[in-house]
Amino acid sequence: MSDVRRLSRYVIRESGESDFEALLRLNAESERFLSPLWLPRLQFLYGQAWYRRVICAGEAVLGFVLGFREVGRQRVAGGKKIVSLQEILLRPR
């Protein structure tokens, strides 16, 4: 089966506040890789993000991305730095 065909079952769309419960659940399932995320922090990050997408199969949210422009030394609650996608992509391997 081609990648295009497999992806046709999924939809990538703009996320909204109605997705927050699913985003928090997905983050909690991956906390061994990610920082904990609570609703107030998600609301803050969502407000700062310029790219907010979820991938869905039917009504089920399977994943999400919050993309940030350059943020310099900006830090969020808990003292953790917001890492921009640009920083991640430009890191030496």
The C-alpha atoms of residue 2 and residue 69 are separated, in whole angstroms, by 33
The pTM (predicted TM-score) of the whole model is: 0.67
86 within a domain of the structure (yes/no): no
User: pLDDT tens, 37-58?
Assistant: 899 999 998 998 889 999 999 8
80 within a domain of the structure (yes/no): no
CATH of the domain at 28: 3.40.630.30
60 within a domain of the structure (yes/no): yes
Number of domains in the chain: 1
The mean predicted confidence, pLDDT, of the chain is: 78
The C-alpha atoms of residue 67 and residue 85 are separated, in whole angstroms, by 6
93 within a domain of the structure (yes/no): no
Domain span at residue 43 reads 3-68
